[in-house]
Chain A
Amino acid sequence: MCGICGCGSTVTVDGREISHDEAHRLRLAHEHAQDQRHGHGHSHAANGHAHDHGSGDHHHHHHHDHAPGHGHHHDYGAGAAGLSVPGLTQQRLIEVETSLLARNDGLAAGNRRVLSALRAFAVNLVSSPGSGKTTLLCRTISMLEGQPLAVIEGDQQTENDADRIRATGARAVQVNTGKGCHLDAQMVGGAMDALRLEPASLLFIENVGNLVCPAAFDLGEDAKVAILSVTEGEDKPLKYPDMFTAARLAILNKIDLAPHCDADPEVYEANLRRVNPGIDILRLSARTGEGMQAWIDWLRAGLATKA
C-alpha cells in the first residue's frame, strides 16, 4: 500500500505500471489501476500532483489506454448473399493500424518519462557477445567516481556480469531473459523500479549480446550505443546494418589490438557511416584506457542535456 495516499500498490504512468511509492517519489501524474476503488475527490496538498482515479465502472484498462489503434467497424452493408439481416452476425472488417510493437513502445514511453522526471541519462549498450561491454562499463564506472549511476545487466543466463559490476561498488540489477534474445521495455521498467535511481543519474543498460533483435525494441533510453571491437571484422556494420542505423554512437573498442589483427579503423568508420551517415564514432580501448576520456565526456554531455 502506498504510504502517501493510502491506496493500492501499483499505478499507471503512460501505460506503464510502476509502484505507487515510486510515482509519488518522482511526482509523476498517474492513474490508479482499474481494480482499485476508493473515494474520489481527496486532495494531495503536500504533493500537488494531478491524477485520475479509475473507478470500477470506467472503461479504461491500463494496458489499453494508450494503444494507438482505435479500430473502426466497417460492417459490410451487404452480406455474402447480398442481404443484410439485423441481428445476424456477419463478417466485418476492423481497421487496426497498430504497430506490432505498440505495447512495448507504450511501456518505453513510460520509462522515458520516469527518466525525464529524474533528469537521468540512459544509454542502451548493444553489441555482439564478447565486444567488451562489461569491461568497458567497469572502467567507465571507475572513471566516474562520485557520479550517481546504476547498471541494468541483460543476459540469457547467470549473474556473472552483475557481479562484476557490483565489484566496482556500483548498483546493478541482473535481468535474465531466459530464452529471450533482447531486453524489452517491461523488463527495464521493473529493473528501474528495483534500482530506485537517484536524481541526475547515469543509467547503463547492457543489452543481451546480439546485433539483431535489440535494434527494434525501444527501452525508453536516451541513446543506443553500439560497441564494436576491432577483432570482429570491418564489414560487421554492413552485415548487421539495423543496429548501427539505430545507434547514436558507435564505440570502436579494443583499438590497442588493431595492429595485431590487421584491422583498419578507417574501414570500420567508413562502413559505419555507410549504414548511418549521422553516427558519432569514438575509438578507444577499455583495457588500456586509451580514448576513454572522450567517452566519459560524451556521457557527461548527454547528462547535461537532461538537466
Chain B
Amino acid sequence: MHEMSLCEGIRGIVEDQARRHGFSRVTRMRLEIGRFAGVEKAALSFAFDVVMRGSPAEGAALEMIDLPGRAMCFDCAEQVELDDRLSPCPLCGGGRLMPETGDEMRIRDMEVI
C-alpha cells in the first residue's frame, strides 16, 4: 500500500533515536507487523533499502516478526485467531468478524553502534 511512507516514518524514528541515544549506525532492526496490517513485506523491504540511504540505518538488516490477527465473532461472541482476514470463525463458522488485533506496524528494537 504505502510502504514508502511507512519507511519515511521509520527513518524519522531512527533519526530521533540516534539524537536521543547518541549512536551512529543501526546494524539490525526488528519490526512487528500484524497479520491484518496490509503491509506487503517485499515492498517494505525494498523501500527500506532505498529510504534508509544516507541515514544511520543505511545497510541495516531488517527482520519482520508476524503478529497474529484476532477478531471478535459477532455470532458466537468469542475472540478468535484468524489466519486470513476473510476466514470464517474457526469455532462456529460465522462470517461476521470484527478485527481487534493484527493491525500493528511498529519498530520493536534496533541493534546500534
Interface residue ranges, A against B (CB under 8 Å): 63-64, 67, 69, 71, 73, 89-104, 180-182, 184, 212-213, 215-216, 238, 241-242, 245, 273-278
Interface residue B38 (Cβ < 8 Å from any Cβ of A) = yes
Known: A92-B112, A97-B106. A103 touches B98 (CB 8 A): no
Q: B residues within 8 A CB of A92?
A: 23, 111-113
Listed from nearest, the 3 A-B pairs whose CB atoms lie closest are A277-B96, A277-B74, A96-B107
The answer to whether B20 and A277 touch across the interface, beta carbons within 8 angstroms, is no
Q: Determine whether B60 belongs to the interface, using a CB cutoff of 8 Å to chain A.
A: no
A67 near B109: Cβ-Cβ < 8 Å: no
B98 and A245 contact, CB distance less than 8 A: yes
- Residues on the A chain within 8 Å of B106, using CB: 96-100
Q: Tell me if B113 and A64 are in contact (CB < 8 A).
A: no
| A100 contacts B21, C-beta separation under 8 Å | no
Question: Is B107 touching A97 in the complex (CB atoms < 8 A)?
Answer: yes
Cα separation A102 to B105 with both chains bound (whole Å): 10
Measured between alpha carbons, how far is A173 from B104 in the docked complex, in Å?
32
Q: Mark B81-113, 1 if CB is under 8 A from A, else 0.
A: 000011000000001111100011111111111
A236 to B23, CA, bound (A): 47
Closest to A96 in B: B107
A215 near B38 with CB under 8 A, answer: yes
Q: List 9 A-B contacts (CB under 8 A).
A: A90-B113, A92-B111, A94-B112, A100-B6, A101-B6, A101-B9, A181-B2, A212-B2, A213-B1
- Give every chain A residue within 8 A of B112 (Cβ-Cβ): 91-94
- Give the distance in Å from the alpha carbon of A96 to the alpha carbon of B6 in the complex: 16
- Check B105–A96 contact: CB distance below 8 A: no
Pair B86/A241 contact, Cβ less than 8 Å? yes
| Docked CA distance A64–B98 (Å) | 33
A96 and B85 contact, Cβ closer than 8 Å, known pairs A91-B27, A181-B2, A245-B98: no
**Residue B13 CB within 8 A of the other chain:** yes
A101 vs B106: C-alpha distance when bound (angstroms): 8
Q: Closest residue of chain A to B20, judged by CB? A: A71
Q: Which of A102, A212, A274 contacts B95 (CB 8 A)?
A: A274
Q: Is B16 an interface residue (CB 8 A)?
A: yes
B57 to chain A, nearest CB (A): 12
B110 in contact with A94 (CB, 8 Å): yes
Contact of A97 among B96, B97, B108 (CB under 8 A): B108
Alpha-carbon distance between A274 and B17 when the two chains are bound, in angstroms: 41
Is B67 positioned at the interface, with any CB of A under 8 Å from its CB?
Answer: no
A69 to B17, CA, bound (A): 9
A98, B38: Cβ atoms closer than 8 Å: no
CA distance A213 to B2 in the complex (A): 6
Chain A residues whose CB sits within 8 angstroms of the CB of B23 once the complex forms: 92, 94
